[in-house]
Amino acid sequence: MATSFGEEEFLACCGSREFAKEMAALGLLSCEEAVEAARLIWFNKVGVTGWLEAFGSNLLIGQSPSSTYQRTHPTCAQWSKGEQSTALATTTDTISQELHEWNNRYKQKFGFIFIICATGRSTPEILAELKRRYPNRPIVEFEIAAQEQMKITELRLKKLYSLPHIVASTAIDTSGPET
């Protein structure tokens, strides 16, 4: 079923206004079409500023959304909590502290937070990946972060298109005329 969403819904999926505007302009899309279009837009139309804006819209791994973030980004906060649920369930105070320290190091070196698709990953796994990627050159890490952001965006697009509150007027009924 093809559905049309606005910029705010797409912004919840990615965090880049440039990306959200491009996606909303496409109109009616199926979930599969939206994922395909998202890849093309993200890697071919969204610039460095848009990538950084999206990176900045994410929570640090292991960080709980603040009440302000939950109020201003309710969908993102809910999705992020679910995406990090395995990590949050597998952490200890020691690992959390070490992750916090490495997150700070990473941000100081690269200028943006560590981006990883955390779904299904434990905190020790995420920390190991952060340490593995830390020696990268900035340009290499920037590309990896963009790829990880796209993985997050794809998961969120699939969640968006599966939401039960899709209004009938935004959907195309392809079942044919009623009899």
In this model, does residue 178 exceed pLDDT 60? no
Structure-token pair, residue 94: 């020691």
Q: In this prediction, what percent of the chain has a pLDDT beyond 90?
A: 63
Question: pLDDT tens across 71-98, in order?
Answer: 555 666 566 666 665 656 667 889 989 9
Sequence ranges of the domains in the chain: 7-169
**Residue 3: per-residue pLDDT:** 84
**Residue of 31, 152, 18, 30 whose CA lies nearest to 84:** 152
Confidence band of 13 (pLDDT split at 50, 70, 90): very high
Angle between helix 31-44 and 17-25 (nearest 10): 130
Average confidence score pLDDT of the chain: 84
* Residues 142, 52: Cα–Cα separation, whole Å: 9
| Span 7-169 CATH architecture | Orthogonal Bundle (1.10)
Q: CA-CA-CA-CA torsion for 4, 9, 11, 13, nearest 10 degrees?
A: -90
Question: pLDDT tens across 162-172, in order?
Answer: 986 544 334 43
Average pLDDT over residues 106-135: 95
Structure-token pair, residue 31: 């979930």
